[in-house]
Structure 1
Amino acid sequence: MLAAMPPSPSIRPLGSAPPLRDRGDACPGALRLHAAADGLLARVRVPAGDLTVCQATALADAAEQLGDGFLSLTSRGNVELRGLPDGCAGRLAGLLGDAGLLPSARHERIRNILASPLAGLDRHTPADVRWWARRLDALLCASESATALSGRFLFVLDDGRGDVAALGGDVSLVAERGGTGEGTDGGGGTALLRVGDDPAALRIAGPDAPRAALAAAEAFLAAAEASGTGAWRVRELPAEHALTARHVAEALRATGITATHVPDGARTFTATTGATTAYADPSPAAGPTPTSPDSNPAAEPAPPYADSSAPGVVEGADGRHTLSVLAPLGRLSAAQWRLLTATAARHGSGELRLTPWRGVVLPGLPAAEAAGRLAALSAAGLITDPSSPWHRLGACTGRPGCAKSRTDVRADLAQAVAAGAPVPGGSPAPVPGAPVYWSGCERRCGHPHGTWVDVLATADGYQVSVVRPDASPATQETRPQ
């Protein structure tokens, strides 16, 4: 039965006061380990979810040699290692460092860069934003001021299809039609930049996008210091110190980056499928208003982009195919992980991409091999079919890994799936197509963004509600898992 749920400390209602932070965030990293109920936990940042075979192998080695033999994928495309013993920090750092997963010890927790997983891969692909991600990561690791960012501050890079633009970025970039390319200068094209929930955006040249994103983050740090609130994220700034597109435009001018104000750019960032559409500022100060596809590439009709969250085979424009799989509840055994790594090395392009849907993308397979390799991954227990009952299902860690959880959430969910009712009191979900997320306490760690079905463990059992982005509770602030 659906029950109305009151706003929780983890989902902040509209109009409520932002929190006052009197300390730095305690978000775990690869070097700052967290003491969980099942041992130490390490969170390894993987900017844009990009892993080489060597790096993926190092993570499997760490899970087997130091952890509990499993790897957990997070809603930001990162990897968690659990069950680590006391005294393992040095050895873990050595394994990760040798694989190139720790380019800067001082910056490792702030390398939170989420990018469209299928960028450059599907048949009707828009811009490949991976260049942005690599350049932004290098700029972050070279920035002294960036070390002051919270481990929860998030950069989002959307390739124009709208798959990650609405996932709660503090600084978000959406590529407009024309692309960023793969050249050393970004290849051209334009991008829209947005900070937090400001409805306005800034149009900038594609090659300037990484520098602009860093400048926006530095503008946030200045606003946070002026506010005296110790804010960790853009949405936590009080109204009198709110960071807006116009404030960021001033910061960009100081760095020589030209930006055009787009007052209704928020419409670009709320799409979940299909291409984005840019809107020009009609005011004279903003420059000419695009009136045709030639002057505004984003105004062209949207091609049918692949659904980034759906598992299966994705056909590429170059005749190569991509495999997309999901891990049940984001948890993979080292054996499953090694199978993915071996598939990437022997049959693919030698890379793996982690997704915010707790999945893995393997690019570059010959068309003749794609179906067979997908079947092998399915046989290993990975989700390869969109019709799987595990598709769009998620859960927090629950017991025994988390002492704050009221129950073993994952075991309860597994029983519910076996019974054909992943939503207590009824199935399918109350909102068709919406993700369903089970939580062991009110923090709801790792919950989805947008509209989702909230299954919360209480002292009296599970209660179900629907969380929508346009209704209270609206602003979702939990620790990403």
Structure 2
Amino acid sequence: MITPSQLTAVAELSASFADGNVDITSRSNIQLRGIQTKDLSSLVHGLELAGFIPSPLHDRVRNIVASPFAGLGFGEILDTQAFVRELDRRLVADQVMAGLPPKFSFAIDGGGPWFGRDRDDLAIRAVNVDNTPLFHLAIGGTLSGFGVRVDRAVDCILESARMCVEISKELEMPARGKRIASVPRAVNRLLDALSGFLVTCPFPDGSSDVGDMPVGISPCERVGFVNLVPSVPLGRLTAEQTLSIASIAKRWDGDIRLAPWRGVVFGSVPESSISQITATLAAVGLSSDGKDGYRGVAACAGSTGCDASLADVRRDASLLARRLAGRCAQPGWTVNISGCEKQCAMRSGATAELIASSSGYSLRINGQFIASNCSLESAIDNVAACQAEIPIEVFS
């Protein structure tokens, strides 16, 4: 959740002290690149003034993920916005929470379609039990079989986090949910400590997991209003595009959300203004129909932003998008383009995976190895054929 004034501040700070771009991450955060050491203190001061760092001590562990459509009428059992705000406020107020490892993540799922891809350290997901909502507890992506009452949900997840810190010290292991869930002694210790909160709970219905990028217009719970999701190519906005998004939200009193598909949601904007809004976005190069070729395409920083990268993968991803433009990608269709074998920040299980080497790309499609050291042109041909459901030719 971000305000127009905060988004404006980010754009201006990036233009003044970074490379002029605003990257949205897969955790729905913002990343600025190309900052010179001499400008760092000025940048941090600007972020503090905009309200981005309420607690420097806790900042690296304030990773709370919810649906970017929370409270916007997208099939949820519960609106999770208030839970997110309360958890954030209480994390900042608790000194123990500063002991969590960096990137420790919390997820609060209202029970509608879920768009995150990470196995969060601690997660609660709304389920209906005899017409009464409960939150089902998951640890490191593993469902526990237990739930917690809605009015005790934040207390439970905070106690769970405290126990992760305590268990890591007792058993000399990382305080990460996935690690704790894999060690019976650790997970049993955690569940025993939470016994006062937990009740038996059915497992959530996984059929609502979509994990796709819903570009375009969707219904909103408010009559006469809609939600709008524009395409953000490769998760990167220019300062000009960022200012345009902030201006739109301010003018039409929209609710801006950053999304885990590295994009943006305009929540609850007047349906009568959609043509004006989409025209304003188009003027700065942001499509609202999902046919710009970038849907489902992800790339790492590439050689322009990372010394380890063996190719300018962002340029190559743009060439692929140009080839795919005008088509409608199938739901769930994804492409990862990585500059090296590390595949930093890439989603798992992509339809097509391109990994750069010193002499070309290795290519996998639907998990099947297709070629190594193939040219960019050959890789693009294969990926385009895959999207069009044409038989794949193996290139060397």
Deviation at residue 189 of structure 1 after TM alignment: 3.2
- Show the counterpart of 1:172: 123
| Conserved 8 A contact 1:409-1:439 | yes
Which residue of 221, 227, 230 corresponds with 2:171? 227
Which residue of 354, 360, 378 corresponds with 2:258? 354
Measured against aligned partners, the alpha-carbon deviations of 1:253-282 in whole angstroms (never above 9, x if no partner) come to 4xxx521244x73x6458523xxxxxxxxx
| Conserved 8 A contact 1:67-1:84 | yes
Alignment of 1:37-436 (within 5 A): 50-122=1-73, 124-164=75-115, 167-177=118-128, 189-229=133-173, 231=174, 233-237=176-180, 239-240=182-183, 243-244=186-187, 246-253=188-195, 257-262=196-201, 265=203, 268=205, 271-273=208-210, 309-319=213-223, 320-349=225-254, 351-420=255-324, 433-436=332-335
The letter for the 2-side match of 1:435 is T
Measured against aligned partners, the alpha-carbon deviations of 1:413-454 in whole angstroms (never above 9, x if no partner) come to 222333449xxxxx999x973321111122212212455532
Distance (whole Å) between structure 2 residues aligned to residue 142 and residue 456 of structure 1: 43
- Show the counterpart of 1:16: none
| Conserved 8 A contact 1:140-1:146 | yes
Pair 1:444 & 2:343 matched: yes
| Conserved 8 A contact 2:212-2:332 | no
Deviation at residue 354 of structure 1 after TM alignment: 0.1
| Conserved 8 A contact 1:193-1:202 | yes
| Conserved 8 A contact 1:204-1:258 | yes
Distance (whole Å) between structure 2 residues aligned to residue 109 and residue 330 of structure 1: 21
Distance (whole Å) between structure 2 residues aligned to residue 408 and residue 54 of structure 1: 33
The letter for the 2-side match of 1:236 is R
Of the structure 1 ranges 78-87 and 336-345, higher mean CA displacement relative to structure 2 is found in: 78-87
Residue identity over aligned pairs, in percent, reads 28
Deviation at residue 317 of structure 1 after TM alignment: 1.8
Unaligned runs of 5+ in 1: 1-49, 179-187, 274-306, 422-426, 469-481
Distance (whole Å) between structure 2 residues aligned to residue 82 and residue 166 of structure 1: 24
| Conserved 8 A contact 2:66-2:84 | yes
More helix by share: 2
Distance (whole Å) between structure 2 residues aligned to residue 328 and residue 100 of structure 1: 27
* Structure 2 SS opposite 1:97: helix
| Conserved 8 A contact 2:115-2:261 | no
With over 3 angstroms needed to count, the CA separation of the structure-2 counterparts of 1:340 and 1:420, relative to structure 1, is: closer
* Structure 1 SS opposite 2:230: strand
Distance (whole Å) between structure 2 residues aligned to residue 335 and residue 54 of structure 1: 14
The letter for the 2-side match of 1:106 is L
Distance (whole Å) between structure 2 residues aligned to residue 72 and residue 189 of structure 1: 36
Unaligned runs of 5+ in 2: 368-396
* Structure 2 SS opposite 1:167: coil
The letter for the 2-side match of 1:317 is E
TM-score, normalised via structure 1 length: 0.69
| Conserved 8 A contact 1:227-1:237 | no
| Conserved 8 A contact 1:107-1:140 | yes
Which residue of 330, 337, 358 corresponds with 1:459? 358
- Show the counterpart of 1:278: none
TM-score, normalised via structure 2 length: 0.83
The letter for the 2-side match of 1:221 is V
The letter for the 2-side match of 1:173 is I
The letter for the 2-side match of 1:250 is D
The letter for the 1-side match of 2:209 is T
The letter for the 2-side match of 1:249 is L
Distance (whole Å) between structure 2 residues aligned to residue 172 and residue 440 of structure 1: 32
**CA root-mean-square deviation:** 2.7
Distance (whole Å) between structure 2 residues aligned to residue 243 and residue 364 of structure 1: 43
- Show the counterpart of 1:276: none
The letter for the 1-side match of 2:36 is P
Distance (whole Å) between structure 2 residues aligned to residue 74 and residue 339 of structure 1: 19
* Structure 2 SS opposite 1:403: coil
The letter for the 1-side match of 2:20 is G
Deviation at residue 154 of structure 1 after TM alignment: 1.3
* Structure 1 SS opposite 2:2: strand
| Conserved 8 A contact 1:168-1:449 | no
| Conserved 8 A contact 1:139-1:211 | no
Distance (whole Å) between structure 2 residues aligned to residue 466 and residue 270 of structure 1: 25
The letter for the 1-side match of 2:357 is T
Measured against aligned partners, the alpha-carbon deviations of 1:215-248 in whole angstroms (never above 9, x if no partner) come to 222222223223324x26322359446643x543
Deviation at residue 249 of structure 1 after TM alignment: 3.2
* Structure 2 SS opposite 1:163: coil
Distance (whole Å) between structure 1 residues aligned to residue 271 and residue 250 of structure 2: 16
Deviation at residue 459 of structure 1 after TM alignment: 3.2
Measured against aligned partners, the alpha-carbon deviations of 1:125-170 in whole angstroms (never above 9, x if no partner) come to 5421111111111111111111121222111122212413653211
| Conserved 8 A contact 2:116-2:260 | no
The letter for the 1-side match of 2:165 is L
